Every structure is written in C-alpha cells, then in structure tokens.
Structure 1
Amino acid sequence: MQLRLACDRLMQAQGHAEPTGRAKITDGYNLPAHYVLHTVGPIVRDTEPTPRQEQELANCYRACLALADAHDLQSIAFCCIFTGEFGFPQRRAAEIAVSTVRAYLETTVAIGINSVIFNVFKDDDLSIYRNLLS
C-alpha cells in the first residue's frame, strides 16, 4: 500500500501522466529492494512496433539506468518492460533491452552500476535472454 501511495503522490505533484520513455524512483517499502524504478513504455497492439516505439522502449531502459546512476545504485533488475499485456513483441523487446543496457554500460563514465539483472517470468523469455546474452 505504501508503494501505491508513493506513486500517487508523485503523480499528483507532477500534475500529469508520465510521458513514455521516462522514469521515476520510489522507495521499495516492503519489497526486497531498496528502491523501485517505474517507467512507461509504448503500447503495441496487434502490430509490429514502429521505429518510434522501439526508440521509446530504449528510452525506458536509458532513463532507468540514468536514474539508478543518479542515486548511486550498484545493481538494477529489469522485468520485460511492456511485453505481455502491453503487446511489445518479446524477442524485439529483449534485443532492445540488451543492446541499450550494453551501450549504456560501455559509454557512460563513472557509473556505479555493477550488476544488471534481466528478470523473466516465462520460459520463452528465459530462452530469448540466454541466447542474446551468450
């Protein structure tokens, strides 16, 4: 409940919906994490993602990584952002996630992040990420 209330306070203070590709941070409250990063990805329904939607998804990962860096976090875990219910194709989303995270870690100076976890829920996502990360 605390996390939900914190999100509500953030949005009330902001006064508008969070734009696609941006991120916010809250305390983790009763979760097994100190913080939770929240992001809004593109909704892709019954079609292939457009180049703009692919860029917006990459922006979600970059925004979360930058926010983690700004808060001196050493580790970050990502779920499969906006796949499933929101329709972004799993394989393409994973390709964007892995390439965006790799590029960020390779090009960003003086970052504190030393561990990135891709947290998957489905066996097919696990297979996709294993293939991309091997």
Structure 2
Amino acid sequence: MFEITRNDVAIRCVQGDITRQSDLDVVVNAANAELRTGGGVAGAIHRAAGPELDEACRSLAPIRPGDAVITEGYGLPNARIIHCLGPVYGSDEPANQLLANCYRNAVELAEQQGLASIGFPALSTGAFGYPMEDAAEVAFATLLAIVPKLENVRHIRFVLFSDADADLHAQVLKRIAGG
C-alpha cells in the first residue's frame, strides 16, 4: 500500500477486490458503452450488485468514451457506483484525453453528489488494452490537478487486482507526486 495526501485529499494504491471496499462511498465501474455486464471489473461489479444494477443501467446507456454516469450501489457495500467508459487503446483517440476525462468526470460526479470517498480500478487497462503504466500516469496527473478544487471528496483509492499492479501504481504515483 502507498498513500500521499495533497490538499487534505488522500490518494492510496492497494491490492484488492473493488467489490469489497465497504468503507468507500462509491466505486467506479470500468464500463462498456451499453453499461451491461461483461468480463473483468464490469462483470465483477454487476455480479456483486445484482440484477437491479442491470435494470438501472438500461436507461443511462449508451455512453461515450470519457463519460461517467452514476447509479445506486444495490448489492455492493457502497452507496453508489459511477460507471465510466474508458477508451479502447489504439482505437479511441485521443486516448490520453479520453482516459483523463474518465477520472475527472468520475471525481466531479462524486463531488457533486457530496461523496467523500471513491475507489477506482485501472480503467481501460484490461480488455481495452491501455498499457498499465501509461494509464496510471494519466490517472494520477489528472487527479493531482483537480485535488485542489475538491471540497467533498477526501479519499481516492486505486484498488488493483494484483500486487504487481498495485506496486506499479504506487511507483507511478510517487514519481508524479514528487515523493
């Protein structure tokens, strides 16, 4: 685990299961355009949240790369779920701007909803093919730029599937944050 604090906002990297972060107000789903169940993070979140999530997502779809929408958490231990569609690497361009929009839009949505804590997976790095280190650089640069404007969000957690992914994110965060 690695954590930094900027402007009273903690940013932390941990290895874990995003569907079991009971101390977070909201978790982010690495969604597909139709907001349907799938593989990876989207599949895990839909399975854990239950069929009500699929029903709630129907009226919100489709979304475009960079977009973020919010639903209730249903069967998850979190009050809410923010669904983001990251870019498909090498197809959706400009990929870095679209990925940055995902992180910015998700945090701004949490901020608008008065939520204090948010958990992210490594958006776009699974089936969408974004290189993990490049994606982490975009994520942390984006978040560090918006942290000074936040009034409600006080904790941002990256929940990574493997120890190697958590370590890589911690290294990138340390480098970008200058610590």
TM-score range, shorter chain: 0.7 to 0.9
Q: Write the deviation string for residues 54-93 of structure 1: whole angstroms up to 9, x where unpaired.
A: 0100000000011001100000110000101110000000
Q: Where does 1:57-72 land on structure 2 (aligned, <5 Å)? A: 57-72=99-114
User: Does residue 99 in structure 1 map to residue 141 in structure 2?
Assistant: yes
Moved over 4 A (4+): none
Of the three residues 28, 44, 57, the one matched with 1:7 is 57
- TM-score normalised to structure 2 length: 0.65
- 1:127: how far off? 1.4
Distance 2:116 2:145 in 1: 17
Considering fraction of residues, name the structure with more helix: 1
| Structure of higher RCO (CA pairs closer than 8 Å, 6+ residues apart) | 2
Aligned to 1:128, which of 156, 168, 171? 168
Q: Which residue pairs with 1:23 in the alignment?
A: 68
1:9 offset after TM fit, Å?
2.5
Cα shift at 1:133: 2.8
Normalized per residue, the structure richer in strand is: 2
Alignment match of 2:151 (pick from 104, 107, 111): 111
What one-letter code is carried by the residue in structure 2 that aligns with 1:88?
Answer: Y
Q: What is the TM-score of this pair, normalised by structure 1?
A: 0.86
Q: State the Cα deviation string for residues 22-68 of structure 1 (Å, max 9, x = none).
A: 100000001011000001111015x9x86x11010000000001100
CA RMSD of aligned residues (A): 1.6
Q: Displacement, 1:125?
A: 1.1
**Same amino acid, percent of matched pairs:** 35
**Aligned residue identity for 1:7:** C
User: For structure 1, which runs of at least 5 residues remain unmatched after alignment?
Assistant: 12-16
- 1:41 maps to a residue whose letter is G
Q: How many residues align?
A: 124
